Amino acid sequence: MAEVVVPDLGDFADVPVSELLAAAGDEVTAAQPLVVLESDKSSMEIPAGADGTLTEMRVAVGDTVSAGDVIAVVVDADPSDPLTVAESPDGDSAEPGDSAPSAAPSDETRRVTKPALGEARSGSPDGPAKRDRVYASPSVRRLARTLGVDLSSLTGSGRGGRILAEDVRSPKAQAQQARGGGLDLIPWPEVDFEEYGPVERQKLSRIRKLTRDNLARNWVHIPHVTHHDEADITELEAFRKQLNTEQSDAKVTMVSLLLKACAATLKQFPNVNSSLDGDELVVKDYYHLGFAADTPNGLVVPVVRDVDKKGLVDLAFELAELSGKARGGKLSPGEMRGGTFTISSLGGIGGTGFTPIVNAPEVAILGVVRSKTQPVWNGSDFEPRLMLPLSLSYDHRVIDGAEAARSTAHLASVLADFRRVLL
């Protein structure tokens, strides 16, 4: 008997199980993956480690595991009597025995049937056994989930029948997607780029792969609308500079002020701080705000918890700490989970506005760009005012246009007069 143990995961712990690739009673090989672990930054398959019978699966989808945890039990095959397929006189495979393997299995119990790909396994809780015989990388599995494609229905074109990304995007897969209410997209264009000139191929980082798949899923499943507005931050910017002059413990950035202003706005507009869960709207009474951090490896979203309960200097400290971890690739999965609302700031780069993609399961995200001085009519004259463009993207299934406009206007009023955070 061999226990399948989670290997060293580096700095990660409590990594969720995203997929089960086998079930109790299956015959497995040493290299055959049993589960897929998927954190916010990477994915990995855990193989059986030994040939034999999977007698126990100790985890389920959604469970979290750490290095050293036992996830399954495999009874090793007898090396002197390797597993064979019992054949009936007419050539058909015999049915597997009902009894569990013993410490000293008989010839009869060792001769087990390996079901053919696509054949139903009566003892499997997941129904068709073909799912257990799918060979695909974690990235291909994520792509299939994003597009709504059943991998078990595909024939892999890769080595050893491995399913590749192009198989998931094949006409057969697209037809399946159409029958299941998918997008029915035409296949991705196949282009020989070298035909037109020299190219350089670069592997996507794991973060960029996860970002690609998550954003594609969110854009497809969420009916996005973006509302644009402006906030007069003339006094707020002066206040920020004054704070940084008076104290040197931590640099208060505009993002720190935005976090505080957004938390105050979310309290007034609770739907913007909610999530859809089936037929229910989950309205949260906590304010954990994420902020998009640009790193050398791609975009990550650290989460600042309980923003409404923290002062500006504390927020500035936490922002600096999380940003440093993000750039160094040292964020833990827990530091990127549980967000209720996200801020994406391009203020240090520029632009006049953009349409950020909602970060599911949240229902809204705020995009800000570089502020600029504009002439604003004060009733009797034009005066220069520092204006900050605001772009609120929202899930139209939860938030309608009027609520989006009101919440953005409220945010603009808080930024114009920061005393409103006390209300």
**Mean pLDDT for each consecutive 10-residue tract of the chain (423 residues)?**
84 80 87 80 79 91 87 75 39 41 40 35 38 67 75 81 83 58 66 93 86 87 95 96 88 96 97 93 97 90 96 95 93 93 93 95 97 94 96 97 98 96 84
Residue 148: Cβ within 10 Å count: 18
pLDDT of residue 279: 85
Q: How far apart are CA 260 and CA 315, in angstroms?
A: 9
HSE-CB at 265 with a 13 A cutoff on CA atoms is 29
Domains identified in the chain and CATH numbers: 2-127 (2.40.50.100), 134-201 (4.10.320.10), 225-422 (3.30.559.10)
What positions carry a catalytic annotation?
396
pLDDT of residue 176: 57
Reported pTM: 0.61
3-class DSSP assignment, residue 63: coil
Burial 170-200 (b: 16+ CB within 10 A, else e): beebbebbeeeebeeeeeeeeeeeeeeeeee
pLDDT of residue 86: 37
Residue among 286, 284, 253, 266 nearest 368 (CA): 253
Q: How far apart are CA 121 and CA 308, in angstroms?
A: 53
pLDDT of residue 120: 35
Q: Which helix (H) or strand (E) holds 321?
A: helix 312-327
pLDDT of residue 117: 32
